Structure 1
Amino acid sequence: MALKNRTETEIHKALDERSGEIFRRIVESYLQHGEPLGSRSLSRILPMSLSPASVRNVMSDLEALGLIYSPHVSAGRLPTQLGLRFFVDAFMQVGSISEEDRASIARHVHRPSHGQGVETMMSEASQMLSGMSRGAGIVITAKSDSVLKHVEFIRLEPTKALVVLVGEHDQVENRIIELPVGTTNSQLTEAANFLNAHLAGNTIGEARTQLERLRHDVRRELDQLSQDLVERGLAVWSGGADEARPTRLIVRGRANLLEGVAGSDDVERLRMLFDDLEKKESLIELLNLAETGPGVRIFIGSENKLFSLSGSSLIVAPYRDSDERIVGAVGVIGPTRLNYSRIVPMVDYTAQLMSQLSR
């Protein structure tokens, strides 16, 4: 990646041991404390003996390279967005996930127990990522062609019913649907029995095709209201008419993004971020970002258009089904001073577990 019209290799060549150490200390101090680091403080913590004046000279060279900047006159230095990218690519060492983090993730990311939906698992995974990263945890699932195992209609009110759908891996989805006026309990039972008898064991695409073949049988066996319920049951299972749209996005820990926010401009940027996360285009963009390369991807600030206005960073990894198709993504959104070296293996391990659960 070009930094101030220089390649990463050229910047490496421009940095000697002294300037590299000063740059590393500035970035690590920012990631830990979020505050500028001055020449006097730097001179006291460096492993080599350098006066504050010598440190300032090196900082000027780093600023000329576009790696750091001074937020105020006579203040210390902070890394630029490009400096953060260079640090992540060139200096940061990502180790294995700690046993403590591994155990914590495994406690929260597991196959839903009977009666719990996939959304429960996603919510727990998102909440876990948020708590461990101090950012906002995200879990998104793409449209999946699940196999129907069992369906049941449970009346809640005269014109409302709960549709309980069980998939081949015992995942459970519950949806409330509106009932046509006059629908009887026997019609609810009739519609569920028809779906279970003729369409169980099919994916939603196969079920729709099979239903077309059974049109004559549907008309012969069911009255109009029961036929309508069969259609509604299939619509619930498919997630609606918009097949291209990912079905679920769960974000937990949004309040974490408000920590340290001082000005109204920062609040406005976060509001735009929250608005973006509610849009269909943003959900597709998140999956596209996860698909652009293998493993965990790190996007800092304006490196992706989704979060360019909010100045947030995104660490995201896809998870896959048994056919190695990407069916969703997990990640963390937060300020640019995220603990990247810890969060990257954490997101990676979470994605691995989600892949196992999607098989």
Structure 2
Amino acid sequence: MASPKTTVADVSASLDDRSREVFRRIVETYLDSGDPLGSRNLSRLLPMSLSPASVRNVMSDLEELGLIYAPHISAGRLPTQAGLRFFVDAFMQIGDLSEGERDEIERQIRPSSADQPMEAMLTEASRMLSGLSRGAGLVISAKNDPVLKHVEFIRLEPTKALAVLVGEHNQVENRIIELPAGVTASQLTEAANFLNANLTGQTLRELRGQIENLKAQVATELDTLSQDLVERGLAVWSGEVAEKQPARLIVRGRANLLEGLAGSEDIDRLRLLFDDLERKESLIEILDLAESGPGVRIFIGSENKLFSLSGSSLIVAPYRDGEDRIVGAVGVIGPTRLNYSRIVPMVDYTAQLMARLSRGAR
């Protein structure tokens, strides 16, 4: 605002009651309708007696502080991005959800049966957030790290095999590994039996800590070729789970963002937003935003580089698994005039619910 070091407290202290009320009315009108508010109409809304000329003087002071601006000559005023941030930090009162609202969120997200996949719950969460916020609902989930139930090697070529990993909920992942020269079908079976006896019932991430111990055990229990085969499989799995797990992005309600667009410039900004969401690296960036602080985070316009070109706002909160690791995030993307006070508790409660469901899905 006045300078990069100006704080919310500094700006708040510089406003008297009249200025605060004028500013609040301008922002609330913008959040409600998107329209600028002029001095004549504003003077009628104020609880104190203030002429249009006096209102214009107050507006001029607020413009000097960088809180509002005039989109056109002789038009009313709109909040700047800095003004919106100041309003969110200093004025906005965030209430709690009613019991009925909590019940409605739980009704839409909770699984209809014990074997409903997590993917379906993620989709419902995104759809629910979209419907309640009139923005685009966003859910990001780190790739599931399933508990292994069965491992099998299938020869593809003399020097290649397919390692088939079956999870406890019958998820199947395939990894191609190089075969030791001269390995036989019986040695493939022997290696798979060894792995099934020692590795199943754990996630790939959990197996990393046991790999060195298993290599010593392999050397005493298996012949040379079987030992080589097992160690190749262990090396492949160790390398893959060491990397950051890729994430899944589910977005519902993109059509909501089309409502109220004024022209080609708005359409172009929305296209930029959709392009941002399609980029794979954006998934990790959103997770990083969610991880950068506790609870719900609010990013307005260019405050985050991911959506800076589209001028969109993001309200996002992480959710954690039973070991307190962040495994995903939920949020709402929309124009800067989102109903922040209503959406923040909604996103917060959805994140808490997703945390409980993700622990149950493990």
The two structures have a TM-score, normalised by structure 2, of 0.79
C-alpha distance in structure 1 between counterparts of 2:41 and 2:21, whole Å:
14
User: Can you list the C-alpha shifts for 1:234-261, whole angstroms capped at 9, x where unaligned?
Assistant: 98xx9x7893143311111111111122
1:48 matched residue in structure 2:
48
User: Can you list the C-alpha shifts for 1:252-278, whole angstroms capped at 9, x where unaligned?
Assistant: 111111112232222222222222222
| Compared CA separation, residues 45 and 64, structure 1 to 2 (3 A) | same
1:59 matched residue in structure 2:
59
Amino acid at match of 2:90: A
2:258 matched residue in structure 1:
258
User: 5 Å matches for 1:339-350?
Assistant: 339-350=339-350
Q: 1:4·1:66 contact (CA, 8 Å) conserved in 2?
A: no
Q: 2:205·2:241 contact (CA, 8 Å) conserved in 1?
A: no
Q: 2:302·2:311 contact (CA, 8 Å) conserved in 1?
A: yes
Which moved further from structure 2: 14-23 or 197-206? 197-206
1:306 matched residue in structure 2:
306
C-alpha distance in structure 2 between counterparts of 1:174 and 1:113, whole Å:
21
| Compared CA separation, residues 31 and 198, structure 1 to 2 (3 A) | same
What is the identity percentage for the equivalent residue pairs of Structure 1 and Structure 2?
65
C-alpha distance in structure 1 between counterparts of 2:272 and 2:242, whole Å:
25
User: 5 Å matches for 1:64-103?
Assistant: 64-103=64-103
C-alpha distance in structure 1 between counterparts of 2:12 and 2:303, whole Å:
21
1:165 matched residue in structure 2:
167
C-alpha distance in structure 2 between counterparts of 1:244 and 1:218, whole Å:
32
Matched, 1:248 2:248: yes
Amino acid at match of 2:167: L
Structure 1 runs of 4+ aligned residues shifted over 4 Å read 2-5, 172-178, 189-198, 210-222
User: Can you list the C-alpha shifts for 1:281-318, whole angstroms capped at 9, x where unaligned?
Assistant: 21111111111111111000000101100100000111
Question: Gapped runs of 5+ residues in structure 2?
Answer: 153-163, 177-188
The two structures have a TM-score, normalised by structure 1, of 0.79
2:185 matched residue in structure 1:
none
User: 5 Å matches for 1:124-143?
Assistant: 124-143=124-143
C-alpha distance in structure 1 between counterparts of 2:328 and 2:63, whole Å:
40
SS of alignment partner, residue 306 of structure 2: coil
Amino acid at match of 1:8: V
Question: Gapped runs of 5+ residues in structure 1?
Answer: 154-161, 179-188
Q: 1:147·1:200 contact (CA, 8 Å) conserved in 2?
A: no
C-alpha distance in structure 1 between counterparts of 2:330 and 2:62, whole Å:
35
| Compared CA separation, residues 218 and 319, structure 1 to 2 (3 A) | farther
| Compared CA separation, residues 55 and 242, structure 1 to 2 (3 A) | same
Matched, 1:320 2:296: no
SS of alignment partner, residue 93 of structure 1: coil
SS of alignment partner, residue 306 of structure 1: helix
Offset, 1:110:
2.5
Amino acid at match of 2:13: K
Report how many residues are paired: 338
- Whose Rg is larger? 2
| Compared CA separation, residues 218 and 141, structure 1 to 2 (3 A) | farther
| Compared CA separation, residues 139 and 191, structure 1 to 2 (3 A) | farther
C-alpha distance in structure 1 between counterparts of 2:139 and 2:57, whole Å:
45
| Compared CA separation, residues 112 and 198, structure 1 to 2 (3 A) | farther
Which moved further from structure 2: 77-86 or 114-123? 114-123
| Compared CA separation, residues 61 and 86, structure 1 to 2 (3 A) | same
Q: 1:66·1:82 contact (CA, 8 Å) conserved in 2?
A: yes
SS of alignment partner, residue 75 of structure 2: coil
Q: 1:40·1:52 contact (CA, 8 Å) conserved in 2?
A: yes
C-alpha distance in structure 1 between counterparts of 2:25 and 2:190, whole Å:
70
Offset, 1:198:
5.2
Q: 1:143·1:244 contact (CA, 8 Å) conserved in 2?
A: no
Amino acid at match of 1:202: Q
Amino acid at match of 1:165: G
